Amino acid sequence: MVPVYQNLTDHAEIRKKLPLLPAVFHIMLALADGEKHGYGIKREVEFRTGGIVSLGPGTLYGTLQRMLADEFIEECGERPDAEGERRRYYRLTKLGRRLAAAEAERLESLVQVARAKAILAKPRTV
């Protein structure tokens, strides 16, 4: 059996922070393809999870505050959005990106275990 953490990055600092809270990982994924403002993050998460995960303002900004303090994300200025409203934008830091990758790898190796044990079907080749 493949130990879950074996393939992950060796960086102990990174490993210590895993697993990430679901809200943190969702926000990281939302920011992975570019900076977004708070409501934009919420929309993206909602869209990608088919409405199953819906972040309330308290949860979202509470998490953002902690991620800012831990330097997983950073602010990248305030500017009007498409509708002309001024918004603060956030983006992933390098650390945040590495963490998101590490978390994804961790989840992937879990999925592999699930497959090996036939809990999950093998991926169909396209």
Partner 1 sequence: MPAAVEWLSGLLGRCYGKALLLYPAEFRDEFGAEMMQFFRDDCSRTLRSLGPVGLLLLGLRTCVDVARSAPGVHMEILRQDLRFGWRMLGSSAGFTLAAIAALALGIGANSAIFSLVNGILLRPLSFPDADRLLMIWDRNPKGIERNSVSPPNFVDYRAGARSFSGVAAFYEAGANLLGSGGPEHVTSYVVSREFFDVLGVQPLLGAGLNAEPSSPGAVLGHELWMRRFGGDPGAIGATLRIDGREYEIRGVMPPDFRFPSRETALWTTMPFDPAGFSRQAHFLGVIGRLKPGIAFGQARAELEVVAAAMARANPASNSGWGVTSLPLREQVVGPVRRSLLLILGAVSFVLLIACANIANLLLAQGTSREGELAVRTALGASAARLARQMITESVLLALLGGAAGLLLAVAGVAGLKALHPANIPRLEEVSVNGWVVGFTFALSLITGLACGLVPSWRISQTDPNAGLKEGGLHRRSFAHDRSRGLLIIFEVALATLLTLGAGLLIRTFLHLQRLDPGFDPHGVVTLTLDIPRGRYPDARQRSALIEEAAARVRALPGVEEAGLISNLPLTGGEGFNRFGFTIEGKEDPTPTENHRFYGRWITRGYLRTMAIPLLRGRDFSDADRESGVPVVVIDSMLARRYFPGENPVGKFVRLSYAPSVPREIVGVAQEVRLLGLDMEPAPQIYIPVLQEARSTTMTLVLRTTLPLSTTAHSARAALRRIDSNMPVYNVQPMAEVVAESIATRRFHTLLMGLLAVLALVLSAVGIYGVMSCMVGERLGEIGIRMALGARQPEILSLVVRQGMRRALVGIAGGLAAALLLTRALTSLLYGVSRLDRWSFVSAALTVLAASFLACVVPALRAAQADPIRALRRQ
Cβ of residue 61: shortest distance to partner 1, in angstroms?
A: 4
CB of 13 to partner 1, least distance (A): 16
Residues 13-42 that bind partner 1 (CB under 8 A): 37-39, 42
56-80: string of b/e by CB count within 10 Å (b at 16+)? eeeebeebbeebeeeebbbeeeeee
Q: Are 90 and 76 in contact (CB under 8 A)?
A: yes
- The reply on whether position 57 binds partner 1 by CB under 8 A is yes
The rounded distance, in Å, linking the Cα atoms of 121 and 13 is 34
Q: Which stretch binds partner 1 (CB under 8 A): 24-32, 64-72, 107-115, 116-124?
A: 64-72
| Cβ neighbours, 10 Å, residue 41 | 23
- Show the beta-strand stretches assigned E in 33-100: 36-37, 73-80, 86-92
Beta bridge partners of 112: none
Stretch that binds partner 1, among 27-35, 60-68, 93-101, 113-121 (CB under 8 A): 60-68
Rounded to a whole number of angstroms, the minimum distance from the CB of residue 78 to partner 1 is 10
Nearer to partner 1, 7 or 54 (CB): 54
| Residue ranges binding partner 1 (CB under 8 A) | 37-39, 42, 54, 56-62, 64-66, 69, 85, 87-88
